[in-house]
């Protein structure tokens, strides 16, 4: 027994001695490289670096440019794991150059994307021109708990409540130009390439301008004058269906498409849908949102709260019974087969902000019908308790700060009538979705209101990759 133990110990020391030496051949170097990659996968990036450093001389000596490039790439990735961006970028740039020499453009393109990300250059921006405001979002994104975690660098909402973009007055167009110019000036500060700046007319604006071709041309011509060069375009094709598709692409990760649909409860409409196994998008939409419901309930804006509450319950139930439930039943089984519904919109954000302020730093927050019932009851009967949650119990100051910020924004975004109508609408939607035999799990996705920007970005990245492969040429911007 003792001899066996000593033998095992000697073999162990021998193995360590072998791994501690530089690779003596390209074959041994490849073994080191493969093991180093495995060590990264189990969070041993420091050990990965050591092995790669022992493999690198053999790849150079053998003049094997491919395995030298692979080694440099893995060194860059490992140093990034170790929070050493300077060394990481240095090795990744070597790998990119070597892949380019080999004409392995896909590998070079991928490494270039990693370099941009580590260097803080992999940002993108979206400007949405709406009927009453212009919104800007500058962000980057990553996976987090099966949903996209957005690192938002800047958000701007420039309201024009007294100006419609369809007016004949030149002042209206100047207001739109000034707002767009302010957004573009902000984007310039981040040095974002034009290929990753998306300017769109919202589906609401597009639908109205379709009816007025002259106004459409005038608006487009005036706004285009603000754009810095011809490479930046305004996308005027954002239909309701297209907006729902981009929102779904940006809010729901591709890996959970088979089990998840998306739904955005907006101010003027509710849109969403899902992707089938062939990546074809199936949309669903209702011409009702928080603001349109309030207008339908109280079209003159003169109802007192008690009357509004009674009429709101009647109107929302009638809409749900006549439009929502039949539409869901008539939909193909694909929507019903998706057990998870990723939801967003101001009213859902308000629910999570008021009921769960301690979750202000969590990307995906599950909500239940019990949550909606409580939210609705407080909105209708005890608004003060709803809108003033106790933040003192949140120990983490960062989380508490986010909760305070969210409360301020939500309180400015939704008044009492909007909260009541929105709560009733959310309840009706969730009940209609859950009426079939397959129970649904509803998950609020934070910052999904700018999901269409992420969708445009992801489409652009995929196009860049595919065109790079097709052309066999690398561009590194």
DSSP character string of 284-307: EEES--HHHHHHHH-TTS---HHH
CATH code of the domain covering residue 86 = 1.25.40.10
C-alpha span between 93 and 108 (Å, rounded) = 9
At residue 147, does pLDDT exceed 70? no
| Tens of pLDDT, residues 393-448 | 999 999 999 999 999 989 988 999 999 999 999 999 999 888 766 678 999 998 88
| Tens of pLDDT, residues 175-217 | 667 878 888 888 888 888 888 888 888 877 787 777 777 777 7
Q: Are residues 417 and 268 in the same domain?
A: yes
Q: Are residues 166 and 286 in the same domain?
A: no
Q: What percent of the chain has pLDDT over 90?
A: 48
Mean pLDDT for the stretch of residues 347-375: 95
Please give the order of strands across the beta sheet that includes 364-367.
281-286, 270-275, 260-265, 340-344, 441-445, 364-367
Please report whether residue 89 resides in a domain. yes
Burial 281-302 (b: 16+ CB within 10 A, else e): bbbbbbebbbbbbbebbbeeee
C-alpha span between 60 and 262 (Å, rounded) = 51
| Confidence band for 44, pLDDT divided at 50, 70 and 90 | very high
Q: Are residues 356 and 371 in the same domain?
A: yes
C-alpha span between 304 and 417 (Å, rounded) = 10
| Confidence band for 462, pLDDT divided at 50, 70 and 90 | confident
Closest alpha carbon to 69 in 20, 124, 110, 24: 110
| Confidence band for 99, pLDDT divided at 50, 70 and 90 | very high
At residue 166, does pLDDT exceed 90? no
Q: Are residues 301 and 401 in the same domain?
A: yes
The token pair at 388 is: 């003033």
Q: Are residues 323 and 442 in the same domain?
A: yes
How many domains would you assign to the chain?
3
**DSSP alpha helices (H): ranges in 382-415?**
383-387, 397-413
CATH code of the domain covering residue 282 = 3.30.420.150
Please report whether residue 62 resides in a domain. yes
Query: In 3-state terms, what secondary structure has residue 124?
Result: strand
Please state which of the ranges 86-90, 320-324, 326-330 shows the lowest mean pLDDT.
Answer: 326-330
Q: Look at 21 and 386; give whichever has higher pLDDT.
A: 386
Residue span of the structural domain in which 134 resides: 124-238
Q: Are 394 and 357 in contact (CB under 8 A)?
A: yes
Q: Are residues 141 and 24 in the same domain?
A: no
Q: Are 429 and 270 in contact (CB under 8 A)?
A: yes
Q: What percent of the chain has pLDDT over 70?
A: 86
Q: Are residues 112 and 167 in the same domain?
A: no
Report pLDDT for 13.
39
DSSP conformation class of 155:
E
Please report whether residue 460 resides in a domain. no
At residue 270, does pLDDT exceed 50? yes
Mean pLDDT for the stretch of residues 74-98: 96
Closest alpha carbon to 254 in 11, 462, 18: 462
CATH code of the domain covering residue 157 = 3.30.420.40
| Tens of pLDDT, residues 53-64 | 999 999 999 999
How would you classify residue 123: left for phi > 0, otherwise alpha for psi between -120 and 50, otherwise beta? beta
Q: Are residues 260 and 206 in the same domain?
A: no
How would you classify residue 345: left for phi > 0, otherwise alpha for psi between -120 and 50, otherwise beta? left
Highest mean pLDDT among 111-120, 157-166, 359-368: 359-368
C-alpha span between 97 and 474 (Å, rounded) = 10
Please give the order of strands across the beta sheet that includes 197-201.
147-159, 133-144, 124-129, 197-201, 234-235
Give the domain-ending residue among 88, 118, 148.
Answer: 118
Mean pLDDT for the stretch of residues 43-47: 94
At residue 16, does pLDDT exceed 80? no
Please report whether residue 10 resides in a domain. no
Please report whether residue 475 resides in a domain. no
How would you classify residue 147: left for phi > 0, otherwise alpha for psi between -120 and 50, otherwise beta? beta
Mean pLDDT for the stretch of residues 261-276: 91
Report pLDDT for 450.
77
Report pLDDT for 329.
76
Mean pLDDT for the stretch of residues 114-137: 83
Across the chain, mean pLDDT equals 84
**DSSP alpha helices (H): ranges in 62-191?**
65-81, 85-102, 105-118, 170-188
C-alpha span between 432 and 440 (Å, rounded) = 10
At residue 46, does pLDDT exceed 50? yes
Q: Are residues 441 and 302 in the same domain?
A: yes
Q: Phi first, then psi: what are they for 261, rounded to 5°?
A: -115, 170
| Class of residue 471 by CB neighbours under 10 A (exposed 0-12, middle 13-18, buried 19+) | exposed
Please report whether residue 380 resides in a domain. yes
Q: Are residues 252 and 129 in the same domain?
A: no
Cα distance between the two ends of the chain: 64
C-alpha span between 58 and 29 (Å, rounded) = 6
Please state which of the ranges 191-205, 311-325, 344-358, 363-377 shows the lowest mean pLDDT.
Answer: 191-205
| Confidence band for 377, pLDDT divided at 50, 70 and 90 | very high
Q: Are strands 124-129 and 133-144 parallel, antiparallel or unpaired?
A: antiparallel
| Confidence band for 128, pLDDT divided at 50, 70 and 90 | confident
Q: Are 89 and 115 in contact (CB under 8 A)?
A: yes
Q: Are 445 and 397 in contact (CB under 8 A)?
A: no
| Confidence band for 124, pLDDT divided at 50, 70 and 90 | confident
Report pLDDT for 158.
72
Report pLDDT for 19.
53
Q: Which residue has the tokens 């130009």?
A: 177
Report pLDDT for 160.
57
């Amino acid at each position: 027994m003792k001899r066996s133990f000593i033998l095992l110990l000697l073999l162990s020391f021998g193995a360590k001695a072998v791994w501690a030496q530089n690779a003596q051949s390209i074959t041994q170097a490849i073994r080191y490289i493969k093991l180093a990659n495995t060590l990264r996968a189990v969070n041993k990036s420091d050990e990965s670096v050591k092995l790669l450093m022992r493999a690198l001389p053999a790849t150079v000596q053998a003049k094997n440019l491919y395995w030298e490039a692979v080694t440099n790439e893995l060194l860059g990735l490992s140093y990034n794991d170790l929070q050493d961006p300077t060394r990481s970028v240095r090795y990744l740039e070597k790998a990119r150059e070597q892949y380019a020499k080999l004409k392995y453009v896909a590998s070079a393109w991928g490494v270039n994307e990693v370099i941009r990300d580590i260097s803080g250059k992999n940002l993108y921006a979206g400007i949405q021109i709406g009927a009453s405001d212009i919104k800007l979002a500058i962000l980057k994104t990553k996976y987090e708990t099966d949903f996209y975690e957005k690192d938002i660098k800047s958000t701007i909402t420039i309201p024009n409540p007294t100006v419609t973009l369809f007016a004949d007055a030149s002042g209206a167009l100047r207001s739109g130009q000034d707002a767009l110019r302010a957004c573009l000036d902000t984007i310039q500060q981040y040095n974002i390439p034009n290929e990753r700046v998306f300017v769109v007319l919202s589906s609401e604006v597009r639908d109205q301008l379709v009816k007025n071709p002259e106004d459409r041309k005038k608006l487009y011509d005036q706004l285009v004058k603000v754009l810095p060069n011809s490479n930046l375009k305004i996308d005027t094709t954002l239909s309701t269906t297209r907006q729902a598709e981009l929102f779904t692409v940006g809010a729901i990760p591709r890996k959970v498409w088979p089990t998840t649909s998306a739904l955005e409860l907006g101010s003027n409409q509710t849109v969403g849908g899902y992707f089938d196994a062939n990546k074809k998008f199936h949309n669903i939409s209702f011409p009702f949102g928080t603001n349109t419901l309030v207008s339908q309930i109280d079209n003159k804006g003169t109802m007192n709260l008690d009357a509004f509450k009674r009429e709101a319950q009647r109107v929302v139930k009638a809409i749900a019974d006549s439009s929502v439930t039949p539409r869901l039943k008539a939909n193909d089984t694909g929507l019903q087969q998706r057990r998870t519904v990723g939801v967003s919109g101001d009213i859902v954000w308000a629910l999570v902000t008021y009921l769960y302020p301690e979750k202000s730093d969590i990307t995906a927050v599950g909500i239940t019908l019990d949550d909606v019932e409580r939210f609705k009851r407080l909105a209708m009967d005890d608004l003060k308790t709803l809108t003033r949650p106790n933040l003192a119990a949140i120990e983490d100051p960062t989380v508490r700060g986010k909760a305070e910020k969210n409360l301020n924004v939500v309180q400015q975004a939704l008044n009492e009538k909007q909260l009541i109508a929105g709560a009733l609408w959310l309840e009706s939607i969730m009940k209609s979705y859950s009426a079939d035999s397959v129970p649904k799990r509803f998950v609020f996705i934070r910052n999904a209101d700018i999901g269409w920007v992420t969708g445009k970005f992801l489409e652009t990245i995929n196009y860049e990759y595919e065109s790079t492969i097709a052309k066999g040429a690398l561009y590194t911007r």
